[in-house]
Amino acid sequence: MNKAVEILLEKRLMILERGASVEDLQGIVPALYEAGIRVFEVTFSPMDPEMVKHGREQIAAAVRAAGPDMVVGAGTVLSLEQVHAAYEAGAQFIVSPHSDPEVLKESKRLGLAVMPGALTPTEIVMAYNAGADMVKVFPADSMGMGYLRNLRGPLPHIPLLATGGVNPDSIPLFFEAGINAVGTGITVVKPELVKAKNYAEISRLARVHIEAIAKASK
């Protein structure tokens, strides 16, 4: 099993961030690591005309700032160009909002873990059969916990990551529905905290989520 996936399945929590500067990431990543976060996703910004260049710089900054047992990956990966930029910057996994066979194939060729997005049973099974290490159910909160629970019934063998609507209160509900791990950004790395460089509060919020994970996993 890929190291990134192994850690995510163990810790059950991934924190993601979109749009932070290289300087910001030098404060954000250590704060998250200190709190106990071990999986971090730098998300590409499709509205940025220099998305690939900036994404590569941001991923590289996060990799440099990460602790020794922390894995860093790239999110909102929509193209092969982004896959290559993420790989060159040191990313260890790729996350997409959709399932693109070419993105998946190239990521696997480069030795990266791949977590494509899917929503329906057909999409989830197709992504997994194509080589996905985990499948990201997105947007997870839009369909409700009953839907997720029903998905898990016939697909117990497929590792599922949920993003969308994840917070300390919803974490136990996701786990009760059979989700293996969750990802969130805005509930931890809040824009106003980044702007104020309040990394201590970011670290505290990360610990709140970790505590919710621990409690829900008992």
Distance of alpha carbon 11 from alpha carbon 107, whole angstroms: 23
Distance of alpha carbon 174 from alpha carbon 78, whole angstroms: 26
Helix (H, G, I), strand (E, B) or coil at 141: helix
E strand segments, the chain? 13-18, 39-43, 71-75, 93-95, 113-115, 117-118, 135-137, 160-163, 181-184
Distance of alpha carbon 60 from alpha carbon 73, whole angstroms: 10
pTM passes above 0.95: yes
What pLDDT, on the 0 to 100 scale, is given for residue 142?
A: 87
Q: Which domains does the chain have, with CATH numbers?
A: 3-216 (3.20.20.70)
Assigned token pair, 60 = 């590289």
Report pLDDT digits (tens) over 1-57: 789 999 999 999 999 999 999 999 999 999 999 999 999 999 999 999 999 999 999
DSSP assignment, residue 127?
A: H
What pLDDT, on the 0 to 100 scale, is given for residue 90?
A: 98
Q: What is the pLDDT along the chain (218 residues), one digit of tens a residue?
A: 789 999 999 999 999 999 999 999 999 999 999 999 999 999 999 999 999 999 999 999 999 999 999 999 999 999 999 999 999 999 999 999 999 999 999 999 999 999 999 999 999 999 999 999 999 998 888 889 999 999 999 999 999 999 999 999 999 999 999 999 999 999 999 999 999 999 999 999 999 999 999 999 98
Distance of alpha carbon 148 from alpha carbon 108, whole angstroms: 27
Distance of alpha carbon 201 from alpha carbon 194, whole angstroms: 10
What pLDDT, on the 0 to 100 scale, is given for residue 184?
A: 97
Distance of alpha carbon 122 from alpha carbon 109, whole angstroms: 24
What pLDDT, on the 0 to 100 scale, is given for residue 139?
A: 86
DSSP assignment, residue 110?
A: T
